[in-house]
Amino acid sequence: MNTSIFRIVPLATEVAEAARRAVSTGASDHALITADSPRSCPCRHCLSWAQPGERVILFPYAAIPSGHPYCEMGPIFVHAEKCERYSATYEYPTDFRNGRVFRGYDAKYNIIQAEVLNGREPELIIQEFFENPETAFVDVRSVTHGCFTFRIQRA
Ligand SMILES: [Zn+2]
């Protein structure tokens, strides 16, 4: 039994599988590319960086659904080959302990707080955000590119 106050929510396996099918049929909004540096293509399914030479699919994903002022669709990567969905969901993924921005949302998908990681421990920021009873979930994004990386829910 663990006492973590949060749960990491990696991209659903169905979404990764759909992207793999779409790229195989030549969908114009799904690009198959090869990672060329160790920290350029984070896979949202296994929550680790694709290694140079590994193939990834780049495609648009609506982290915040349409019909809301903060709706957001943006590009994400998944491994082109099958990978294992991140399963240590009570632990913050080690590959993303820097270069991230945290956005806290309420239950209506409004951003109510935001903070750049900036050398702080992610667990502390998560704890602070969830101390606000209005915070329904926290989205972690790239601080440079702005791309959605993963979601964090209350445990
Ligand atoms: Zn992966």
- pLDDT tens for residues 54-106? 999 999 999 999 999 999 999 999 999 999 999 999 999 999 999 999 999 99
DSSP, res 13: H
Residue 34 has pLDDT above 70, yes or no: yes
What is the pLDDT at residue 2?
66
Ligand 1 centre from 133 Cα, in Å?
A: 33
Long-range contacts of 99-103 (CB under 8 A, 24+ apart): 99/142, 99/143, 99/144, 100/140, 100/141, 100/142, 100/143, 100/149, 101/140, 101/141, 101/142, 101/143, 102/126, 102/129, 102/138, 102/139, 102/140, 103/138, 103/139, 103/140, 103/141
What is the pLDDT at residue 1?
55
Left if phi > 0, otherwise alpha if psi is -120 to 50, otherwise beta: which for 16? alpha
Residues with CB under 5 A from ligand 1 (ion): 43, 45-46, 79, 83
Ligand 1 centre from 55 Cα, in Å?
A: 10
pLDDT, mean of residues 127-136: 98
Whether pTM > 0.85 for this model: the answer is yes
Q: What are the residues facing 102 on neighbouring strands?
A: 115, 140
